[in-house]
Amino acid sequence: MPKFGIEFVPTDAYWKVVYHAIQAEKAGYDYVWITDHFNNRNVYVLLTNIAIYTNRIRFGPGVTNPYMLHPIMTAQSMASLNEMAPGRVVCGLGTGDKTTLDMVGIERAKPLSAVKEAVQIIREITAGKTVKLAGEVFKVAGARMNFKSISRIPIFIGAQGPKMLSLAAEIGDGVLINASNKKDFEDAMKYIKEGVEKAGKKLQDVEVVAATSFSAHEDIAKAQKAAIPVVAFIVAGSPELILQRHGIPIESANKIREAISKGMFKDAFGSVTPEMIEAFSISGTPSMCIEKIAELAKIGVTLFITGSPIGPNVRNSINLISKEIIPHFK
């Protein structure tokens, strides 16, 4: 049966996000993830507060990237948090959001090398080792921290394309996939198995994570309406291959993309079709959500993340998920 995580985008005041993290712990969630973008609240300030105000739930950035912040600084943050909340810290790492990185003139150069080298640096530094690395992206000449993590910190790697999926399974503790539809996971599992075999591991050694756009409400129309803005942005950012997989015309996606780029959000959201909602979200009544989560678990998903928007009202939707959905899988 899958474990459950919840993801928050810290656009709200920090105390609201911390309140929802406390609520998620009481609701039976296993993980809470905080997204890391420069234009929202700082991920580590929030995670520190979550460490203080929760007791059981595991937490971490979901995900940070090695371009905006050097992996050594990420390792320092992770090890410090793990000292505050022993054994509860996890590190989500990916290549970052192209749009926000473009805003500050940072190129996502050599993403496979960047992620591989970052994982090596984080693992070695947090273990108290001296790091010497002459990599393609990072050069580290004998860096060492004055303390080490009190326990090993699992690293979950965000992945979409075949090569990154394989690498994530090979070197990561978890493969974190931003998708909601079973077609995407059926395709991804081929590359995950390839990476696991390359490392000489078993599939059970790696968490397969579905980070979904999720919206639950007893009224299907309200649930899907809440998901529309998130789905619009997902469609706008999806490569042609993914759109084709779900039978979504390129012209329709371009229309949404153009409207968003011009700030015409009403037009963009109005162009979202039921097919797009089905492809890029899990939204509907609790029984509908249960059915789709069960489908993903059958394919091989072991950790299910309910991501933005969660529902029309975050607090009420967490309560609904805790009463109707999570118990079904426990």
pLDDT score recorded for residue 266: 95
Residue-wise pLDDT for 1-22, tens only, equals 899 999 999 999 999 999 999 9
Place of tokens 């996939």: 177
DSSP string for residues in 279-323: HH-EEE-HHHHHHHHHHHHHHT--EEEEEEEESSSHHHHHHHIII
Average pLDDT, the chain: 96
Pairing mode, strands 303-310 and 131-134: unpaired
Residue-wise pLDDT for 41-88, tens only, equals 999 999 999 999 999 999 999 999 999 999 999 999 999 999 999 999
Query: Token digits for 149?
Result: 């993590």
- Domains of the chain in start order, with CATH, are 3-222+283-329 (3.20.20.30)
pLDDT score recorded for residue 103: 86
Burial bucket for residue 73 (CB in 10 Å: 0-12, 13-18, 19+)? middle
Q: Considering the entire predicted model, what is its pTM?
A: 0.95
272 within 8 A of 235, measured Cβ to Cβ: yes
DSSP string for residues in 200-222: T--GGGSEEEEEEEEEE-SSHHH
Give the pLDDT band (50/70/90) at residue 97: confident
User: For 191-198, what is the mean pLDDT?
Assistant: 98
